[in-house]
């Protein structure tokens, strides 16, 4: 079976088709994976968990989705060192599943933020965002109510020591600790960011900086 990018769909996911088309526009194969299913990890080159409101954001954003059957396969995929990307709600899910450090909590304004954000690349990573360079400035849109990155002191020290900070906000829109907009795991194969690169594909969208991520 040809290698492809798997796009995980949960109840309440609403950026799934955006991600599917984004991947296809980059000339890659993509396929939906339903949250109740498990899959053969050898069938996919990479996985993306899109944004949305999985399970209606009940309990905590991403907490219920992190316990879906599909996450058993996602965990196995990540342990094999293969690339996994979580965007917005997908980032929240990966944190709730323990695949990424820290947590995403309510914005300090207590309001949903839907606006453009200026970002700075902190660490260059392979696969997702390998076209980005350290200190590069990019522009991506955000759309979240629970996007404030938080970690306790011990976890935050590990994040820094292991170079897990991926992206930072130039102007912090939500109160995220140390202006963090995206992180990776220590191995550098699991990625999470709150801004939406799939919403910055074409100039008419307002930016083409999403091109750097695929």
Q: Which residues are catalytic?
A: 88, 196, 198
Round to whole Å and give the CA distance between 108 and 48. Answer: 27
3-state secondary structure of 158: helix
Tell me the backbone φ, ψ of residue 153, rounded to 5 degrees.
-60, -45
Round to whole Å and give the CA distance between 207 and 139. Answer: 7
Given the structure tokens 């954000």, which residue do they identify? 117
Residue 165: strand pairing partners? 183
Round to whole Å and give the CA distance between 141 and 136. Answer: 17
User: Could you count the other beta carbons within 10 Å of the beta carbon of residue 167?
Assistant: 26
DSSP 8-state code for residue 30: E
Tell me the backbone φ, ψ of residue 137, rounded to 5 degrees.
-105, 130
3-state secondary structure of 21: helix
* Tokens coding 104: 């995403």
Given the structure tokens 């820094």, which residue do they identify? 160
């Amino acid at each position: 079976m040809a290698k492809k990018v798997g796009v995980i769909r949960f109840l309440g996911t609403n950026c799934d088709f955006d991600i599917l088309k984004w991947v296809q526009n980059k000339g890659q194969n993509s396929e939906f994976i339903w949250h109740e299913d498990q899959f053969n990890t050898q069938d996919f080159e990479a996985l993306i968990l899109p944004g949305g409101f999985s399970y209606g954001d009940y309990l905590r954003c991403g907490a219920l989705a992190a316990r879906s059957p599909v996450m058993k396969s996602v965990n196995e995929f990540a342990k094999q060192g293969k690339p996994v990307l979580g965007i917005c709600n997908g980032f929240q899910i990966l944190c709730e599943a323990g695949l990424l450090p820290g947590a995403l909590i309510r914005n300090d304004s207590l309001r949903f933020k839907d606006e453009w954000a200026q970002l700075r690349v902190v660490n260059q990573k392979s696969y997702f965002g390998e076209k980005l360079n350290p200190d590069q400035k990019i522009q991506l849109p955000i759309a979240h109510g629970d996007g404030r990155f938080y970690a306790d002191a011990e976890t935050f020290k590990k994040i820094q020591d292991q170079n897990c900070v991926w992206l930072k906000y130039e102007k912090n829109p939500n109160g995220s600790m140390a202006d963090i907009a995206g992180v990776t795991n220590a191995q550098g194969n699991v990625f999470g960011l709150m801004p939406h690169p799939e919403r910055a594909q074409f100039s008419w969208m307002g930016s083409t900086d999403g091109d750097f991520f695929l």
